[in-house]
Structure 1
C-alpha cells in the first residue's frame, strides 16, 4: 500500500483569448472572446481561464487576438459616471435624508467617491451602491 501518493494532475486547463484586437475601455462580450486549451506548461499565471470571468468587464489596456487576457487588465464597469446625476442617501439615527448629486469621478460599486450636492454645492463623500446610488458617509 502506498502512502502519500500524489494525485494525477487534471488535463490541460483553458484560457480566454480575444477573437480580435480589443482596445482600452471596451466591454468584453461573448462574441469578442473564446476559450482555448492551454498547451504551454510555462504560461505565467494571472490570466482569465473561463469566459464568465471576463464577460461585462472593461479592458484597461489593448488585448491582442490569440493572447491570454490578464485579469489585471480588466475592471468592473462604472456604476456611476462623472457629471451624471445620482441619488445621495444618508441614513442614521432613524433618519433618512435623500438629495441629488453629481459624482466628481467615475466609480464602480463599492468605491468611495466625492460627490457635489446639486442644491447646496457642498462636496461630500460616500460609497457607490449596487443600485447606482451613493450612500453618504457620516463625518
Structure 2
C-alpha cells in the first residue's frame, strides 16, 4: 500500500469504511386483511382527477358539452340516459370537432367506442342502420307510372339515404340503390343510385 492510499496493483483508493444509508420512512401499511396498492395504480387513479382539474374553468367562461356517462360501443343506439353534461372552456367549440348539442346525439348510433366523460367527436356518430348486411330487402324500380318491386340481399349495411349494393335474388345481378325511409332500396333506371 502506498502512502497516497492507492493500491499499487489496482490504482484505486482503498475503501476503509462504508457510510451508513440515510433512514427511510417506513411505507404505510394497509389495513388488516387488505393488500397494498402499487404506486403505479395509485398514479393512474389520480390521473382523471388531474385531467378534470385542467378542464375546470370559472362558470362565466364555460359551456356545457354532452359526454357519455357509460361506455357506448360501436353500433349502440345512443339514448338520452347514456349522456351527461360536462363543463368545458368557452373556446372549446372553436378548437374542437366534438358534438356540442345533446339533441343531435339522441337516437344516433356510435361508429366507435365512446368512453365516459370524454367529448364525442362528430365523426364518431351516424344515423342508425335500417338495413343490415345480408338482410332481405325490397328493391323498388319506379319510372313514370311504372313501378317494379322484387327482393334482394343487401351486400352492405346502411342508413336512410345511403347507397348500397343489393343482389337480386331472382336474377343474381347486383344493383346499387338508395335506402329510403321505408327501408326499401330504390334503384334508378341505369342501376345506379336513384
1:31-73 C-alpha deviation (Å, 9 max, x unpaired): 1111233236456322122221111111122212111111111
Q: Secondary structure at the match of 1:77?
A: coil
Q: Partner residue of 1:39?
A: 89
Would you say the 8 A contact 2:139–2:186 is kept in 1? yes
Question: In proportion to residue count, which structure has more strand?
Answer: 1
* Residue 113 (structure 1) aligned with residue 164 (structure 2): yes
- Counterpart pick for 1:86 among 116, 137, 141: 137
Where does residue 17 of structure 1 map in the other structure? 67
Aligned position for 1:98: 149
- Could you tell me whether the CA contact under 8 Å between 1:16 and 1:48 is conserved in 2? yes
Q: Greater RCO between the two (CA within 8 Å, min separation 6)?
A: 1
SS in 1 for 2:148: strand
User: TM-score by structure 2 length?
Assistant: 0.61
Q: Assess, with a 3 A threshold, how the Cα gap between structure 1 residues 42 and 79 changes in structure 2: closer, same or farther.
A: closer
1:51 pairs with 72, 80, 102, which one?
102
Structure 1 runs not aligned, ≥5 long: 1-9
Question: Normalising by the residue count of structure 1, what TM-score does the alignment of the two structures yield?
Answer: 0.83
More helix by share: 2
CA distance in 2, matches of 1:36, 1:42: 12
Give the superposed CA RMSD: 1.9
